[in-house]
């Protein structure tokens, strides 16, 4: 069965096609156009569509069943979040995707985007919550905007020495090394409690952490999966028929 999976963020929309659990097509657009969707529906013989959006609802004019992913949607995990209606749907979809990839394991999802989120789902499919922290760019902007003289620094991945010899280098060092310490600290915390925990990196800045963490002692436990949210949404739409 071919599913059309759509994830709309603040800037871009990701469109993917899954045949069963295999990702066979993906693209990213700034504007969702009806004619493009209909072309995909026909080309891949789409049977159903699921979408998640941080903005408005869409009126899809397509000849297949459409499911809007919401907090009321039936899901294949136990969501134990105390305020489920406030949980970001991207975080929820990501842990569903993580549980699908590692069905019988404890998994820590690190989503490195505008914010960095740390979400844990155990092998019993129980999601209790996680942590939210400022992302890379947000940290640079915050130090510039909330101080009188610190400049706005653009990330230079080749200039992240531990000792910054200038203000610009010191800002780079503080943000980059501070984040690495934070991420490794979270990983260590979960591994101490759940030694076999799998770690999945996703989000726009995942590649930044990928190289640094895979050179660490955690290398054998880390998977980088940029399409984790889409994988989770695909699992959700299939689960409606289970």
89 is an annotated ligand-binding site residue: yes
Kindly state the tokens that stand for 140.
Answer: 């640079």
83 is an annotated ligand-binding site residue: no
Give yes or no for residue 213 having a pLDDT over 90: no
- E strands, the chain, are 2-8, 13-19, 22-29, 46-53, 66-68, 78-79, 107-112, 115-121, 126-134, 198-202, 222-224
90 is an annotated ligand-binding site residue: yes
**Residues classed as catalytic:** 90
High-pLDDT (> 90) share of the chain, %? 75
60 vs 85, higher pLDDT: 85
Give yes or no for residue 7 having a pLDDT over 90: yes
Residue 190 is predicted with a pLDDT of 96
13 is an annotated ligand-binding site residue: yes
Give yes or no for residue 219 having a pLDDT over 90: no
Mean pLDDT score of the chain, rounded to an integer?
92
Domains contained in the chain, CATH given: 2-68 (3.30.420.40), 84-229 (3.30.420.40)
Query: Who contacts 56 (Cβ-Cβ below 8 Å, separation ≥6)?
Result: none
20 is an annotated ligand-binding site residue: no
d(CA 198, CA 178): 23
């Amino acid at each position: 069965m071919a599913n059309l999976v759509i994830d709309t963020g603040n800037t871009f929309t990701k469109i993917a096609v899954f045949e069963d659990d295999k990702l066979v097509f993906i693209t990213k657009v700034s504007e969702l156009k009806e004619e493009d969707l209909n072309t995909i529906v026909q080309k891949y013989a789409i049977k159903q569509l699921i979408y998640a959006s941080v903005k408005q609802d869409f009126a899809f004019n397509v000849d297949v069943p459409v499911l809007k992913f919401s907090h009321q949607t039936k899901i294949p995990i136990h969501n134990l979040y105390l305020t489920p209606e406030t949980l970001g749907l991207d975080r929820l979809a990501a842990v569903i995707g993580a549980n699908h990839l590692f069905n019988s394991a404890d998994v820590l999802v690190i989503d490195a985007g505008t914010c960095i989120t740390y979400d844990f789902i155990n092998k019993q499919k129980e999601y209790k919550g996680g942590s939210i922290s400022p992302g890379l760019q947000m940290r640079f902007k915050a130090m510039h905007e909330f101080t009188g003289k610190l400049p706005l620094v653009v990330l230079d991945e080749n200039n992240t020495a531990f000792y910054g010899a200038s203000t610009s280098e010191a800002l780079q060092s503080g943000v980059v090394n501070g984040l690495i310490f934070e991420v490794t600290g979270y990983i260590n915390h979960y591994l101490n409690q759940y030694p076999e925990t799998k770690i999945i990196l996703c989000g726009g800045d995942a590649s930044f952490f990928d190289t640094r963490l895979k050179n660490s002692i955690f290398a054998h436990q880390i998977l980088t999966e940029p399409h984790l949210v889409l994988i989770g949404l695909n699992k959700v739409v299939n689960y409606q028929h289970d």
